[in-house]
A and B are shown apart, each in its own frame.
Chain A
Amino acid sequence: DTEVTQTPKHLVMGMTNKKSLKCEQHMGHRAMYWYKQKAKKPPELMFVYSYEKLSINESVPSRFSPECPNSSLLNLHLHALQPEDSALYLCASSQDQGLGNNEQFFGPGTRLTVL
């Protein structure tokens, strides 16, 4: 299984809502990533988890809260978002954060719209 799955595919939420994005992989990877991608732009790294611990937070606002319940799952909890947070949110995983053959596998993304 070389797949990263993400749910939901689409999400529309108001600025006062609380929602969560989910990501799952069963490749035994120990590094997982959240990216944000605006239209016609490359992905921007938000968070990295390595061995279920948060290792990188790219100065993301606290209205985004990541969680890694176990080595296969990665969540992104959303609260009090702004319309400018509307984007495609991509999850990725890799064997680990170390050197060597360490490509990132991406999920299909969640298209988030904040009203």
Chain B
Amino acid sequence: AQSVTQPDIHITVSEGASLELRCNYSYGATPYLFWYVQSPGQGLQLLLKYFSGDTLVQGIKGFEAEFKRSQSSFNLRKPSVHWSDAAEYFCAVRTNNAGNMLTFGGGTRLMVKP
């Protein structure tokens, strides 16, 4: 069965600093990969997705992610963090099994220092 690991439960960065959130997946074939963001008490908003093609994908709000098959990783990056980026970030994988359901990582809470 597929699984998704987000090794960092909490990350704190200063406003204006760069950010990288880690995501590793376990799956035999090439999965469909997603990053979602969730502000407190809100639903999930899709930041970006990878299905195929260019392994560097651009998303909304200045985020990007790079798919590295050799490392089974799909890390999320942003060159300069804004205070409004403070939220919970979830990496998710969708596979070709029945139902094509999403498997979520445990999430990373991002805090931004002024």
Residues of chain A touching chain B, judged by Cβ–Cβ distance below 8 Å, are 4, 6, 40-43, 45, 48, 55-56, 88, 90, 92, 97-109, 111
Taking a contact as CB atoms under 8 Å apart, the answer to whether B107 and A42 are in contact is: yes
Check B101 against A41 for contact (C-beta < 8 Å). no
B interface residue count range (under 10 / 10 to 19 / 20 to 34 / 35 or more):
20 to 34
**Which of A48, A92, A106 is most buried by chain B, counting CB atoms within 10 A of its CB?**
A106
Q: Is the CB of B90 within 8 A of A56?
A: no
Known: A45-B102, A99-B96, A99-B100. Is A111-B46 also a contact (CB below 8 A)?
no
Asked if B46 and A88 make an inter-chain contact with CB atoms under 8 angstroms apart, the answer reads no
Chain B residues near A107 (CB-CB < 8 A)? 43
CB-defined contacts of A56 to chain B, threshold 8 Å? 99, 101
CA gap between A69 and B40 in the complex, in Å: 30
Distance, CA A56 to CA B104, complexed state (A): 17
Complex CA distance for A105 and B51, rounded to whole angstroms: 16
Contact A108 B43, beta carbon cutoff 8 Å: yes
Say which residue of A40, A43, A48, A101 sits within 8 Å of B44 (CB atoms).
Answer: A43
18 contacts between A and B (CB under 8 A): A41-B106, A42-B106, A42-B107, A43-B90, A45-B101, A48-B101, A55-B99, A56-B101, A90-B44, A97-B100, A99-B96, A101-B51, A102-B32, A103-B46, A105-B46, A106-B43, A106-B44, A109-B42
